[in-house]
Amino acid sequence: MGKDLSIAMLYDFYGELLTPKQAQAIDLYYNEDLSLAEIAEPLGISRQGVRDAIKRGEKLLLSMEERLGLVNRFMNQDEKLQEVIKEVASMHEYERSYVHSKKLSDAFTALEKKLAELTKEL
């Protein structure tokens, strides 16, 4: 079973919808990088039981993403935000090089600060 790291992101968004055993197995497998045998012992189930819990959990996570698309929307918003940040930085650089307006420079600086705060929230 190869590790698909997108499952870790799906887990962050939809992990609360999993059963406790599925959530724990997926968390330990994808986020802690434990083997099936290492997960089986603390969960008190067999390696096959861990594998089954992970597979059922993955199926549920993928199904929720297909229905709701939250991760896809998040990724699209992040990409668009990064594009806006680059454009604002480019305009600010142009202003510094050619316009030399204190008021405009202050506005760009404030906008860049707000964009940085927004990036941290995502």
Q: Note if the pTM is more than 0.85.
A: no
| Per-residue pLDDT band at 121 (split at 50, 70, 90) | confident
pLDDT, one tens digit per residue, over 47-74 is 999 999 999 999 999 999 999 999 999 9
Please say if the pLDDT value at position 114 is more than 70: yes
Return the ∠ at Cα 39 (arms to 58 and 15), rounded to 5°. 35
Q: Is residue 25 within 8 Å of residue 57, measured between CB atoms?
A: yes
What SS3 state is found at 34?
coil
Q: What is the DSSP letter of 27?
A: I
pLDDT, one tens digit per residue, over 18-31 is 999 999 999 999 99
Taking Cα atoms as reference points, which of 66, 63, 74 lies closest to residue 9? 74
Cβ-based neighbour number of residue 61 at 10 Å: 25
The gap from C-alpha 89 to its chain's centroid, in whole angstroms, comes to 25
pLDDT at residue 122 in the model? 67
Q: Is residue 20 within 8 Å of residue 28, measured between CB atoms?
A: no
